[in-house]
């Protein structure tokens, strides 16, 4: 997927929707969220903007999120998981791990993988 496709997929999963050029009379159409109107250039750059990627993390109420670099690598890793209590101990479940060249992109890819299993 290209960064543009990832940004659009994340936006859709977060509740954004796109209206075509025919519907809006705006070149390329417009993206909407709630009552807010933003053109395509206004769609957050989730792949490269850590503040935009943080908006994703804020939606993950019942999950833990780890974003890190492991060792000397230039890649970033994102791990998203939930906890389930078994008797007196908690175990991780629904674990998703991704890696990418930027931390925001790793967050995006993990978020998009959620619900695929």
In angstroms, rounded to a whole number, what is the distance separating the alpha carbons of residues 66 and 98?
11
In angstroms, rounded to a whole number, what is the distance separating the alpha carbons of residues 84 and 64?
12
**pLDDT band at 42, cuts 50/70/90?**
low
Q: Residue 37's domain is classified under what CATH number? A: 3.30.2120.10
In angstroms, rounded to a whole number, what is the distance separating the alpha carbons of residues 74 and 78?
13
Is residue 84 pLDDT above 80, yes or no?
Answer: no
Is residue 41 pLDDT above 70, yes or no?
Answer: no
**pLDDT band at 117, cuts 50/70/90?**
low
Domain count, the chain: 1
| Enclosing domain of residue 70 | 3-113
Contact 97, 40 (CB under 8 A): no
**DSSP class of 98:** E
pTM beyond 0.75, yes or no: yes
């Amino acid at each position: 997927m290209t960064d543009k496709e990832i940004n659009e997929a994340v936006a859709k999963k977060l509740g954004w929707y796109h209206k075509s050029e025919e519907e809006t009379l705006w070149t390329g159409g417009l993206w909407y969220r709630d009552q807010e109107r933003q053109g395509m250039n206004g769609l957050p750059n989730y792949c490269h903007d850590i503040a935009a990627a943080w908006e994703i993390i804020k939606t993950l109420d019942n999950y833990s999120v780890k974003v890190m670099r492991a060792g000397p690598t230039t890649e970033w890793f994102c791990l998203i998981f939930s906890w389930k209590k078994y008797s007196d101990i908690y175990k991780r479940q629904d674990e998703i791990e991704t890696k990418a060249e930027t931390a925001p992109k790793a967050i995006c890819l993990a978020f998009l993988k959620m619900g695929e299993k």
